Chains A and B, each alone.
Chain A
Amino acid sequence: METLSVAFFFIALTFAAYFLLNLIYIKFHYSFLMPALTATFIIVLFLLATGISYDTYMIGGEWIDRLLGPAVVSLAIPLYKQRKLVLDNVVPVLAGIFVGVVTGMSTGIALAKAFDFSHLLILSVLPKSITTPVAMEVSEQLGGIPSLAAVFVMIAGFTGIILGPAFLRLLRIESAIGIGMGLGASAHGIGTAKALEYGPQEASISSVAMSLSAVFGSFLAPVFVWIFFL
């Protein structure tokens, strides 16, 4: 009985934090007010202030966590709806995603290795440019730390939207396909939200780049670990 009320409390807390902070985000619309960031921050502060352990929080949290798997499966639906866009640009789209995944994973792993970070951290950095739920599963399977992977994914996302627009202009990446691909392949869902500000075409390409990067990334991540840690 007590476990049940604990579970209910933390589920309610997470929902309440998310919905309230989402209202604030909708009102002001600054990227750093995204509820994934602010709600996580508030809950972490709450746990630190009350001294409640993460394990206790997860008695409720795990029920929300279980919805991640079916949500990733659902990503197949927008991709299916955009299949014509992919088929019309099959070479640029697939090549862009492949090059993006290879660049992201190889530079991440090589730099972290060069600066002597632990194996555990490197395996959590590796999937940083793929969408959070998949990145967590990938890092867990390889022996990394899913929660750290989630934070690294967030850092990649914010890099993409804060520095991305100026960087893309500097590189003269100005076509819809270039902008959408650049944002989606490096900054996943957060980048896709930014791509929407450019236009519907950029957003569609970005969302395609995000879902296919997750697929390519989960295939290639074990290969990179094998190459770099042989």
Chain B
Amino acid sequence: MKILLFVLQFIFIYGFFLLGQLMRELFNIPLPASIIGFLLMFSALSLKLFPLRFVESGATLLLSFLPLFFIPATVGVIEYISTFAGKGAFLIVILIFSTLLTMAASGWTSQYLARKTEKEQGVE
């Protein structure tokens, strides 16, 4: 019975992904089909077109296996191993540097704006 519930919820969630694919092709939207599906799902929940419990357990199960799902695509790196030889190794330095800048910029911005709002609300 529980398995049947998961299967039904999975089909329902998959439907949103297919809808995303369809919209992407019909309207030439330059977004990944999965992100269009994500936005449709979020909108549908926000508009209360169906209750959260319709998708909740299926989604939680799918997300708990997310790392498994991207293994096959990642294994594809086997065809590009030479990329990391020689000069390519420097690309890793760029990645590390750019990641730290991203962390600093986003973390600092959010912290600064959150404290600013707190202070302003404190004054009122």
A interface with B by C-beta (< 8 Å): 14-15, 17-18, 34-36, 39-40, 43-44, 47-48, 54, 57-58, 61-62, 64-65, 67-81, 83, 89, 91-93, 95-97, 99-100, 102-104, 107-108, 111-112, 115, 117, 121, 125, 128-129, 132-134, 136-138, 141, 145-148, 150-152, 154-156, 159-160, 163-164, 167-168, 171, 173-175, 177-179, 181-183, 185-187, 189, 205, 209, 211, 214-215, 218-219, 222
Contacts and interface: CB of A to CB of B under 8 A. Distances in A.
Given A108-B95, A148-B80, A89 B114 contact: yes
A9 to B, nearest CB: 13
B63 interface: yes
Nearest to A47: B78
Contacts of A81: 52
Given A96-B109, A103-B105, A115-B94, A73 B72 contact: no
Interface residues of B, number: 74
Contacts of B68: 14-15, 18, 35-36, 39, 64
B36 to A, nearest CB: 9
Which of B40, B62, B67, B76: most chain A CB closer than 10 A? Answer: B76
